Amino acid sequence: MNSLNKDFFAKQKNISWFNQELIEKQTISVIGVGGIGTNIAFQLARLGVQKIILVDNDNIEPSNLNRQSLFSKDQIGKKKTDVAKDTINKIHNLNSEIIAYDIDIFQNWKDTIDIVRKSNFVLNGLDLPEIKRSLISIVCLNLKKPMIYAGTDPFSGFSGMILYQSSKNNEPCYECMQGVLVDVESDLLIQYSPKKITQYDTIEWKILDKKYVEPIQNSSTTIVTALFASTLAVTGFIKVILGQKFPHRIIFDLYNMEIEKFFLNQRSDCRICIEFQ
């Protein structure tokens, strides 16, 4: 094989606005290795991102396999992070270092903070309850790391949403975009100050009322939806590190073939933004 054949990234280097050198300098954490996280992670490897940090503590379940593309039937019951790392290394990895943390992000809050601290960018693929995503977004604000959340709508099966929170404190934060803080978050944020969120060793959110943390019954999604949301999130990562504009919110409805993008302003009454100004 001559040196030309070894240039795995020759085709993307041909894109006029692309910057492969910059992509290859990035350390990205993928928090939540499920329908979104698996489909984000293999794309980052194919792009040549330097370090990909995978964070989750779930085991693979049969109902994951319709969309979580790094897992197969014979791996049911195994740890998601271990299997995701192995599959990426065997099939998708061209030049990346894959690091896997099988941790509960709240019980191991100190480790979670360290992971975000050493990342250039956070891709947030956490599922419900909302508080999980929200707390990671506050950590990102605190450590000035850009973050993109991607998710699929559990009620429609073919739609989803992307939210981009920049590292600047004059742009909308995750809470600005998600609307009014729900009670559970207000309670938790009284207990754990957003400004000091990186100083705690652990976050005890499981003590909260069960109605806030129970999963949605009969939720629906597909590989089509998860892959589309993941691809939009990865596109956002590429554009943001290149200093290009990316919408704060994208809503897509694949069934009706509709996609809407929004450039938003910070909400003047957002308690998180007020705290960080």
Which window, 55-63, 104-112, 238-246, 266-274, contacts Zn ion (CB under 5 A)? 266-274
In the complex, what is the shortest distance from the CB of residue 270 to Zn ion, in angstroms, rounded to a whole number? 3
In the complex, what is the shortest distance from the CB of residue 179 to Zn ion, in angstroms, rounded to a whole number? 11
Residue number, 134 or 159, with CB nearest to Zn ion: 134
Name residues contacting Zn ion, limited to 134-193 (CB under 5 A).
Answer: 173, 175-176
In the complex, what is the shortest distance from the CB of residue 271 to Zn ion, in angstroms, rounded to a whole number? 8
Residue number, 48 or 172, with CB nearest to Zn ion: 172
In the complex, what is the shortest distance from the CB of residue 137 to Zn ion, in angstroms, rounded to a whole number? 9
Residue number, 173 or 232, with CB nearest to Zn ion: 173
Residue number, 159 or 178, with CB nearest to Zn ion: 178
Which window, 6-14, 25-33, 146-154, 265-273, contacts Zn ion (CB under 5 A)? 265-273
In the complex, what is the shortest distance from the CB of residue 142 to Zn ion, in angstroms, rounded to a whole number? 13
Count the residues of the shown chain that bind Zn ion, applying the rule CB under 5 A.
Answer: 6
In the complex, what is the shortest distance from the CB of residue 276 to Zn ion, in angstroms, rounded to a whole number? 8
**Does 273 contact Zn ion by CB under 5 A?**
yes
Beta bridge partners of 148: 123, 164
d(CA 134, CA 272): 10
Name residues contacting Zn ion, limited to 16-55 (CB under 5 A).
Answer: none
Residue number, 31 or 272, with CB nearest to Zn ion: 272
Do 33 and 57 form a contact (C-beta atoms < 8 A)?
Answer: no
Task: Give me the residue whose beta carbon is nearest to Zn ion.
Answer: 270
CA neighbours closer than 13 Å in the CB half-sphere of residue 152: 28
In the complex, what is the shortest distance from the CB of residue 171 to Zn ion, in angstroms, rounded to a whole number? 9
Rg of the chain over Cα atoms, rounded to whole angstroms, equals 18
Residue number, 169 or 222, with CB nearest to Zn ion: 169
Residue number, 14 or 277, with CB nearest to Zn ion: 277
Give the footprint of Zn ion on this chain (CB under 5 A): 173, 175-176, 270, 272-273
